[in-house]
Amino acid sequence: MVFSQDSLKLLPSHIAFIMDGNRRWAKKKNLPIIDGHKKGAEIIKKIVRKSIKLNIKYLTFYGFSNENWNRSKHEVVQLQSLLKLYLDSETDSFMKNQINFSFIGDIGKFDSLIREKLFNLQKATSSFKKLFFTLALGYGSRGEILGTINKILKKKIRNNITERDISENLMTSHLPEPDLVIRTSGEKRLSNFLLWQIAYSELYFTKTQWPDFDVNRYMIALKNFINRKRRYGGD
């Protein structure tokens, strides 16, 4: 699939992904759960490469929610190991392609080595502007909003808190709001992801599980977005 020059101008600037279906994909194929997560990590790489070619500037991935800590200890350990591997294997690619890496969420429960790698990669790529890659880890939107309000109250900015106050103090204050949210694997819910930020985002749900969400399916989602008319509450 190839977009015309006019269509390219209509592509979203910021896309947020709820990457669902790794475990179900693995179980369906009688594979270890971690294999589904590994294949899912490969899909992220492909999405990033295609987005750079399309000049899409912002990508945010829901990598690990607060609720994911409730999974089995074995799976949580494997996921952290995979995250380490991803950060190590992709550092050169982030540097070479001038990708600005950042993360949002509470990473306090993650392995100390992972925390170090996250901060190091964020610092090393902070000046890059070709593509802004954000990874949500230990993230939950309700907690983010509550923390933001408490942060504002401590600052004692004014008696009345405005929408602008909240937007400017969220973890994502350095990012534009998402134009498009893509959720895979057939579920039609937001799972506590960027609830404030996606108030006017377009939502795209697909039954395709994340490990099968290849570049062609990504292009189909983008075409669907291009064909929509965003009204922002108007006619």
Contacting residues for 69 by C-beta, under 8 A, at least 6 apart: 76, 109, 138
* Strands 202-205 and 180-183, sheet pairing: parallel
Token couple for 180 = 């498009």
Could you confirm whether 92 is annotated as catalytic?
A: no
CA dihedral 99, 36, 221, 186 (to 10 degrees): -140
Distances (CA, A) of 108 to 95, 116, 224: 26, 11, 38
Contacting residues for 234 by C-beta, under 8 A, at least 6 apart: none
Token couple for 77 = 């350990």
**Which residue, chain included where needed, has tokens 């990473």?**
107
Catalytic residue among 35, 66, 68, 97: 68
Local structure of 77: helix, strand or coil: helix
**Which residue, chain included where needed, has tokens 């949500």?**
136
Catalytic residue among 20, 22, 100, 179: 20
Could you confirm whether 20 is annotated as catalytic?
A: yes
- Give the integer Cα–Cα distance in Å for 4 and 8: 6
Token couple for 160 = 């009345």
* Catalytic sites, residue numbers: 20, 68
